[in-house]
Structure 1
């Protein structure tokens, strides 16, 4: 996996395999079976994780969150891409390019 690549709004993102996720007091916590680490995704991070059950474009993810939380696009893009970058660095998500055929 190339970890230095920039996340593109047209890419598809989905949950990686091998993670056990539970709700604890309104926040999602996750155990990665692959690396043996625990993660607290928080409330909004948990909602993002739920949206990643099926491959979704990052643009659609941002648009969904903008409507749900009434946040401006610039802030939403910045926060979502930062969160996804952290998940990618830990190898918790899968990114793929859309085919434009």
Structure 2
């Protein structure tokens, strides 16, 4: 797996479709047929990815939106992005 750095550009893969269901974002990986859901900050991060952001920009946006420490933000955003990458829902460049 590629290491995610502040300059890593994060993008959604073409193998993912999404829909809002109530207040959650439902994702389906079209190749595997698996479903995932994101809510709250996870959904916000997904929306930032769709806006074409680098990892550092995503962390900055989350820090401005939520009242958390930089260390917690770094770890939580990185954990989510690694999980999305492992499930081939995002690509890194």
TM-score, with length taken from structure 1: 0.85
2:57 pairs, out of 55, 60, 83, with: 60
Larger radius of gyration, structure 1 or 2?
1
In structure 1, what is the equivalent of residue 44 of structure 2?
47
Partner of 1:13: 10
3-state SS of 1:52 partner: helix
**Matched residues, number:** 93
Structure 2: give runs of 5+ residues left out of the alignment: none
- C-alpha root-mean-square deviation of aligned residues, in Å? 1.2
Separation in 2 of the partners of 1:44 and 1:29? Answer: 14
Output the CA distance in 1 between the equivalents of 2:41 and 2:18: 14
TM-score by length of 2: 0.91
Partner of 2:25: 28
Classify the secondary structure of the residue corresponding to 1:47.
helix
Q: Secondary structure at the match of 2:50?
A: coil
Runs of 4+ aligned residues of structure 1 deviating over 4 Å after TM superposition are none
Structure 1 stretches lacking a partner, 5+ long? 97-101
C-alpha deviation, 1:17, in angstroms: 1.1
Aligned to 2:84: 87
